[in-house]
Amino acid sequence: MPFYGRERSYIMRKTVCITGASRGIGKAAALKFAAEGYDLALSCVKNESALRETAAEAERLGSRTMLFVGDIGDPEACSRFFELIRGTFGRLDVLVCNAGISRHGLFQDMQPAEWDEMIRTNLSSVFYLSRLAVPMMLHRGGGKIITVSSVWGAAGASCETAYSAAKGGVNAFTKALAKELAPSNIQVNAVAPGTIDTEMNAFLDPEERAALEEEIPAGRFGTPAEAADLIYTLAESGPYLTGQIVTLSGGWQI
């Protein structure tokens, strides 16, 4: 359901759409863009109360917000989301495809429905959202599409076959779309985080976490704020930077 922020006076403010904005990297990105003067179109799949908390914090920073709760792996839900964006803001400058799921387990134990959900949520959603965003950006003469991938999209991870495949698809999609849209002044880049200290990695017990931190040259997990800073940097970068998969891993994956 949509939620509209308090009315204020806004002149030529940019708008960013961020999926998976109720927590983790998505929430941090929402607050970063809000602090930099953007208005926000935010979505999550089910945790409306957490999404409203993100919106409330962003509004205190001066942003208008519009919220959508729905499955962005569903093309019809994406269409409804973008109808609200057009009706509320009338423009879209930046799309951040952040929403995603992960699942640990042996390949032979994965069921077809679990594979389908992983691909639909982590990869197909990027197609659905970009397909809707591009016409709005063309109308304004340019824009930025930023996908959130993973180091496993390039390296692959044991017991995360479907996740790695989906993120590898995101990387290829990013590079291909960047080539196609470069003449139209739309830049497409990806952030590929390593281990970020979010709920997605909460399954690690203290010993596993310590062992993983020892493998990372920086000696620690990354923070959602660091990922958000990189996403914002790509959103504000010049038009010659496109088609890049930018790794953020503390030197762990290079």
CA–CA gap between residue 76 and residue 228 (Å, rounded):
28
Q: What 3-state DSSP class applies to 227?
A: helix
Residues 143, 237 contacting (CB under 8 angstroms): no
Whether 163 is catalytic is: yes
CA–CA gap between residue 48 and residue 64 (Å, rounded):
17
Distances (CA, A) of 158 to 43, 105, 153, 163: 30, 9, 12, 10
CA–CA gap between residue 93 and residue 70 (Å, rounded):
22
Residues with Cβ within 8 Å of residue 23, at least 6 apart in sequence: 44, 47, 50, 198, 199
Rg of the chain over CA atoms, in angstroms? 17
Distances (CA, A) of 201 to 46, 161, 249: 19, 17, 14
- In terms of DSSP bridges, do strands 39-44 and 94-97 run parallel, antiparallel, or are they unpaired? unpaired
User: Residues 4, 10, 38, 163: which is the catalytic one?
Assistant: 163
Residues with active-site annotation: 163
